[in-house]
Amino acid sequence: MSTSGAIPIRDAGPEDWPAMWAFMREIVVAGETFSWDTKTSEEDARAGWFRHGQESGFTVVATGPSGALLGTAECGPNHGGPGAHVATASFMVDPRHTGRGAGRALGEYVLDRARAEGFRAMQFNAVAESNVRAVRLWQSLGMQILTTIPEGFRHPADGYVGLHIMYQRLTPA
């Protein structure tokens, strides 16, 4: 258990999954921020979100005062072998609990823990430029836009928008 500000973050366990999937499913189906198949099955979602469990990496949840889950994040190597020293991470915050700092708490936690686990850098592969709040949040945590894939994301309302690749060095040069 770790606290980032007032929001506790802890490793996610199998018992958390039903409450996680309840809001994760909404986010995946909406297709507004996440580049997953909007029909992703619960089984595939669970396997993807816990994929780093047996190797390096981790899956965590942010909890509210009553113990309710506010959001979740997963982090692990972005590539294998000769590329495994750069981490990547994904984040989902329950739409009913946005604006309470869970995203920021998860972001700070993930960057700190990735650094502590020895990752040399953090790379986000797919941040929709239409997800302005997320882009600003990650920038405020030190992530920089390295490039933007032109029209890389098809937003259900906005149409094709750019898909940012964001990056931050975690170790001293």
Binding positions for a second copy, rule: CB under 8 A: 28, 31-32, 34-38, 40, 79-86, 120-121, 123, 125-126, 128, 146-147, 149-156, 163, 165, 167, 169
The position carrying tokens 């982090």 is: 75
Least distance from a second copy to the Cβ atom of residue 72, Å? 18
CB of residue 14 vs a second copy: minimum separation in angstroms?
Answer: 23
DSSP string, 70-98: EEEEEEEESSSGGGTTEEEEEEEE-GGGT
| Residue 136 or 169 with smaller CB distance to a second copy | 169
Q: What residues form DSSP beta bridges with 130?
A: none
HSE of 36, CA atoms in CB hemisphere, 13 A: 21
User: Which uninterrupted H or E stretch holds 154?
Assistant: strand 144-155
SS3 146: strand
In contact, 73 and 49? CB cutoff 8 Å: no
Q: How far is the CB of 17 from a second copy (least distance, A)?
A: 20
CB nearer to a second copy: pick between 19 and 121: 121
User: Minimum distance between the CB of residue 120 and a second copy, rounded to whole angstroms?
Assistant: 7
Nearer to a second copy, 4 or 88 (CB): 88
Six token digits for residue 12 = 């996610």
Judged by beta carbon, residue 2 or residue 86, the one nearer a second copy is 86
